[in-house]
Structure 1
Amino acid sequence: MIARRRLFPLSPFARHALFAAVISLALAACGPARDDGVVDVAIVGSDEGMRTPGLRLPFAAQHLRAATAQGLVRLDATGLVVPGIAERWIVTDDGASYIFRIREFDLPGGGRLTAQAVRDSLRRTVARLEGTSLGLDLERVRDIRAMTGRVVEIRLDGPMPELLQLLAQPELGLAVGDAPLGPMRIVDPDEGGDSEPLEGIYLAAMPPELRGLPSQPDWDEGVEPVRLVATDAAAAVEGFSRGAYDVVLGGSIVDFPLAEVGPLSRGTIRLDGVAGLFGLDIRTRTGFLATAENREALIMAIDRPGLIEAFGVGGWTPSERIVPLALPSQTAAEIIDAGTPSWSTLGLDQRRAEAASRVAAYAGSGEGGQVTLRIGMPRGPGADLLFSAIESQFAAIGVASVRVAMDDAPDLAFRERIARYGGAQWFLNQFDCTVSRAVCSEDVDFLLELARDAPSAAEQASYLAEAEAALVALSVYIPFGPPIRWSMVRGGVTGFADNPWGLHPLFPLSGAPI
């Protein structure tokens, strides 16, 4: 039997950020992993997805990119922003300029890393991200300049406290010709060995001097290469069971039951207390879903704790909001409660009675009839449990549900995405008409544009609150709470830590010195 402890932090966002850190089940290993001097990591995804070029990166590709192409800054194992190519930086008093001093070192392929090369790489990336939600997050970047041979300045249209977190995203990794910027490089698994190499991509930590750091004698003592394999969740858990993998990354609620029935006595389940979106998008405005009042009825009908009850996850905090009320990037003066629904004080029975009356009114109208909704869900045992709960809860208000594939013209569609930074802008940008497949509003988009152009943090917060209120009134999304992300880590593995962004850097797993 697995004991679970509930976490009681100080704030709602802290519960989102840390909800399952204490669920980590550090159990003794019944069988050792393969002792081959390699840290074997399985990540949920496909091999093709892991090798994706460009900037629209699946989860597995994000981890590979972060390992082999660091940016000005990067995330450490706990999710904190730490120096990458930049050795230090300053922020001007008005918050509208960030000045970075890059490390001084020779590139592996010859030549030196210059501020001009860094500037050019960042400019290309920002331009290519246009039309993506990450591109929207970066719209306040006005200019990127090379001030001297080793100094880069990023000028903004106004304060942007989330800039460092954005620069640490894998997509913002620097590309300077074919030179690897590390902190790891892809290596040939045949080097120095006679045995047949296993599948996957082999990564080795680069020497400190090739990362712009002072040379360290015997730096590689105890350092191990990392083998990264992308596979489905069932194969990852099975491989962990028989000792083929030391770490499994990228599990979600879609496949969480696989971890629960897996070999818990051989390792540890770790849950990241991430923030983000977990719920159902409303994809159409036809039939019953034509009015915001009817769409709101679906939002009111959900028993959020009941959705997760079958998963047995303690500490998860349900939410009726799109944007968490308190975010790390906000000061107390900037917190504006614009997103709490007016019905949130009602009990579940009262909410469902009101929702059922709206369904009945539509069904009794001339164009009504039985309300049946097509719900797009991914495949997986967790998705099966979740759909069963949703179907039952919608039935309680007179709505029938039909499960369809995500790409089969659903009326409602599953959405689960981890926030890249703890700001209201991220949550609201996900519903911008340029990037969202949910019902959207040009009026909300206009308010978000005003927020991005606002000269002060207070003015920006005001526009964001207006946008949030307008989005809530539109009823385009059925929130459940923060996403659920799990990993499996064998006892004895070092360099892994729970973090609020769900991105686990591979470099620390190698044991190499920072």
Structure 2
Amino acid sequence: MNAVRRMIAYPVAILMAAMLAACGSGHGSGVSVTVIGDPADPFDEERALSPARELLRAATTEGLVAFDEQGRVIPALADRWIVTEDGLSYIFRLRDGTWRDGEALTAASAREALRRAIRAQRGSALGLDLAGIEEIRAMAGRVIEIRLSRPMPYLLQLLAQPELGLAVDGEGAGPMQFAQVQDLAILEPIPPGALGLPEIPKWDERVRAIRLSAMPAARAVERFNEGETDLVLNGTIADFPLTSSVGILRGTIQIDPVAGLFGLAFVEDAGFLASPENREAIALAIDREALIVPFGVSGWVPTTRIVPPGLDAETGDAAERWADMTIENRQALARARVDFWLQGEEDPEPLKLRISLPAGPGADLLFERIAADLSAIGIEAEQVGLGDDADLRLIDAVARYPRPRWFLNRLSCAAQRICSEAADDLVTESGTMSNSAVRAAVLREAERELTDANLFIPFGSPIRWSLVRGDAIGFATNQWGWHPLMPMALLPR
């Protein structure tokens, strides 16, 4: 049975206390965490992991390593590790302790759990990220080795992802357990003794319950303003205007310094969109600098590149596209391509493009700016929902590790319907190369292939925001936009 779905059977007294805690706020009564989404998200197994379910899974089914509130990799099931000098072997020593069923935490059981977790990602973009793992070996006692076909300096960040949580018989080893009460997940830190670890004196006085729920953004912000929740997580640009109702309390609105993909992906390549030059016309027309002006977010940097400039040493020195052209000149060139295509049609009709965006006032603002730019080149835009037929759709995703490979894998044929097999082949080829400089050059060529194909229109970095009560514990902004629950459950000594 899936670890997220399984409901821990608390003693009645503990469950009732947790339910009563849901009525209040503050340290003594626990903390209320609201994730923007659908109320069923924490418990929904039919779709890919939602942000709320990711948090719940990470809290109940940890991996070899985990993230702390600042986004740093910390020990979890493994209490220490070493990396060989060539970067091709990671050796982990597991902590003393047991799985939730009381069986010993061994290298053999952890290896099988990790293999299952990796197999579950086959055919996905995350599966491509993990392709460099060649072998997982159980060594003496509680030692496990991961051997790589190529260096993966971001392996620890991958192993800390919720999808790589380790479970035996469908159940993880904590560090928290939960009970579902209607649309509420009540999480309690598991006493160390229950995991075969040394007891911690006065454990009950050092921890508190977490009350996790998911709900639409407007209701989440309303609950925060009414003092009914301590934190609101998973805010995106689609709902950012709602934060204007929060007030001017210092530190209340927190924005994570994330990197990732934020822009429009083509999901149709027929008619006007059949040629890369015409798809480029759409990219030329959009005034990226003006997109975020209505939101008033300071420090946001637009880009025309798929892999953000300055990401790391593999990024190279590629320049921004059309850097020597004004937006007026770019739109004039784009308009000329639209007119040329229409002239070649026997019975030309006005060009219309359907753009798929999430619901929310921020998405509406974003569409207004995009529609105005497309109108300037003779194209009418129509806003449609996420599940509707469309010509372009918004991609708004935070990078899980700071390498070009993450960006290229998210635009691969494993992740997108309209894609570049040539770019995919180059990314795969780079994985066979031992020389880091040559590998980086091949990845840059893959980015150029994707850029020339004009399959994705980058805008800049995603926007991720949270609402945080002034006395919140265990929360910090970080580059992953990841806010684990266990640090929020630990009270200061």
Q: Tell me if TM exceeds 0.5.
A: yes
- Following superposition, the deviation at residue 48 of structure 1 comes to 2.4
Residue in structure 1 matched with residue 18 of structure 2 by the alignment: none
Residue in structure 1 matched with residue 73 of structure 2 by the alignment: 81
- Following superposition, the deviation at residue 177 of structure 1 comes to 2.6
Equivalent residues of 1:266, 1:490 under 8 A apart: no
Residues 345-424 of structure 1: matches in 2 within 5 Å?
345-367=324-346, 368-424=348-404
Residue in structure 2 matched with residue 453 of structure 1 by the alignment: 432
CA distance in 1, matches of 2:322, 2:262: 20
Residue in structure 1 matched with residue 224 of structure 2 by the alignment: 240
Encode CA deviations 1:231-250: one digit per residue, 9 max, x unaligned: 11111111111111011111
> Is the deviation greater in 367-376 or in 463-472?
367-376
- Following superposition, the deviation at residue 366 of structure 1 comes to 2.8
Residues 513 and 133 (structure 1 numbering): CA distance in 2 closer, same or farther, change over 3 Å?
A: farther
Residue in structure 2 matched with residue 479 of structure 1 by the alignment: 458
Encode CA deviations 1:172-196: one digit per residue, 9 max, x unaligned: 00102355411111147xxxxxxxx
Residue in structure 1 matched with residue 255 of structure 2 by the alignment: 271
1:98 lines up with 2:101 in the alignment: no
Residue in structure 2 matched with residue 298 of structure 1 by the alignment: 282
- Among candidates 109, 113, 133, match of residue 117 of structure 1: 109
- Following superposition, the deviation at residue 513 of structure 1 comes to 7.5
Residues 343 and 220 (structure 1 numbering): CA distance in 2 closer, same or farther, change over 3 Å?
A: same
CA distance in 1, matches of 2:456, 2:252: 34
- Following superposition, the deviation at residue 337 of structure 1 comes to 3.2
- Following superposition, the deviation at residue 272 of structure 1 comes to 0.8
Equivalent residues of 1:274, 1:484 under 8 A apart: yes
CA distance in 2, matches of 1:223, 1:97: 36
- Following superposition, the deviation at residue 428 of structure 1 comes to 0.4
Residues 37-56 of structure 1: matches in 2 within 5 Å?
37-53=29-45, 56=48
1:169 lines up with 2:149 in the alignment: no
Residue 379 of structure 2 aligns with an amino acid whose one-letter code is V
Residue in structure 1 matched with residue 20 of structure 2 by the alignment: none
Residue in structure 2 matched with residue 262 of structure 1 by the alignment: 246
CA distance in 2, matches of 1:362, 1:71: 54
Residues 140 and 178 (structure 1 numbering): CA distance in 2 closer, same or farther, change over 3 Å?
A: closer
Residue 395 of structure 1 aligns with an amino acid whose one-letter code is S
- Among candidates 417, 422, 447, match of residue 468 of structure 1: 447
Give the unaligned 5+ runs of structure 2.
Answer: 1-23
Equivalent residues of 1:205, 1:512 under 8 A apart: no
CA distance in 2, matches of 1:513, 1:71: 25
CA distance in 1, matches of 2:444, 2:195: 43
Equivalent residues of 2:354, 2:384 under 8 A apart: yes
Residues 374 and 55 (structure 1 numbering): CA distance in 2 closer, same or farther, change over 3 Å?
A: closer
Matched position secondary structure for 1:57: coil
- Following superposition, the deviation at residue 505 of structure 1 comes to 0.3
Residues 472 and 178 (structure 1 numbering): CA distance in 2 closer, same or farther, change over 3 Å?
A: closer
1:434 lines up with 2:422 in the alignment: no
CA distance in 2, matches of 1:341, 1:369: 34
- Among candidates 475, 481, 493, match of residue 502 of structure 1: 481
- Among candidates 133, 136, 160, match of residue 141 of structure 1: 133
- Among candidates 245, 265, 272, match of residue 281 of structure 1: 265
- Following superposition, the deviation at residue 475 of structure 1 comes to 0.4
CA distance in 1, matches of 2:153, 2:196: 27
CA distance in 1, matches of 2:255, 2:394: 20
1:336 lines up with 2:328 in the alignment: no
Residues 326 and 354 (structure 1 numbering): CA distance in 2 closer, same or farther, change over 3 Å?
A: same
Residue in structure 1 matched with residue 173 of structure 2 by the alignment: 181
- Following superposition, the deviation at residue 99 of structure 1 comes to 0.5
CA distance in 1, matches of 2:306, 2:251: 35
Residue 421 of structure 1 aligns with an amino acid whose one-letter code is Y
CA distance in 1, matches of 2:336, 2:261: 29
Residue in structure 2 matched with residue 66 of structure 1 by the alignment: 58
Matched position secondary structure for 2:447: helix
Matched position secondary structure for 2:136: strand
Residue in structure 1 matched with residue 405 of structure 2 by the alignment: 425
Equivalent residues of 1:276, 1:427 under 8 A apart: yes
CA distance in 2, matches of 1:92, 1:429: 26
Give the unaligned 5+ runs of structure 1.
Answer: 1-31, 189-196
Residue 220 of structure 2 aligns with an amino acid whose one-letter code is A
Percent of residue pairs identical: 46
Residue 487 of structure 1 aligns with an amino acid whose one-letter code is S
- Following superposition, the deviation at residue 408 of structure 1 comes to 2.2
Q: CA RMSD in A?
A: 2.1
CA distance in 1, matches of 2:126, 2:46: 14
Equivalent residues of 1:34, 1:244 under 8 A apart: no
Residues 35 and 97 (structure 1 numbering): CA distance in 2 closer, same or farther, change over 3 Å?
A: closer
- Following superposition, the deviation at residue 221 of structure 1 comes to 1.7
CA distance in 2, matches of 1:65, 1:142: 26
Residue 279 of structure 1 aligns with an amino acid whose one-letter code is G
- Following superposition, the deviation at residue 458 of structure 1 comes to 2.1
CA distance in 2, matches of 1:263, 1:314: 18
CA distance in 2, matches of 1:184, 1:40: 15
Residue 379 of structure 1 aligns with an amino acid whose one-letter code is A
Matched position secondary structure for 2:474: coil
Residues 93 and 55 (structure 1 numbering): CA distance in 2 closer, same or farther, change over 3 Å?
A: farther
Residue 469 of structure 1 aligns with an amino acid whose one-letter code is R
Residues 463 and 246 (structure 1 numbering): CA distance in 2 closer, same or farther, change over 3 Å?
A: same
- Among candidates 464, 470, 486, match of residue 491 of structure 1: 470
Residue 62 of structure 2 aligns with an amino acid whose one-letter code is Q
Residue 350 of structure 2 aligns with an amino acid whose one-letter code is Q
TM-score by length of 2: 0.90
Residue 282 of structure 1 aligns with an amino acid whose one-letter code is F
- Following superposition, the deviation at residue 106 of structure 1 comes to 3.0
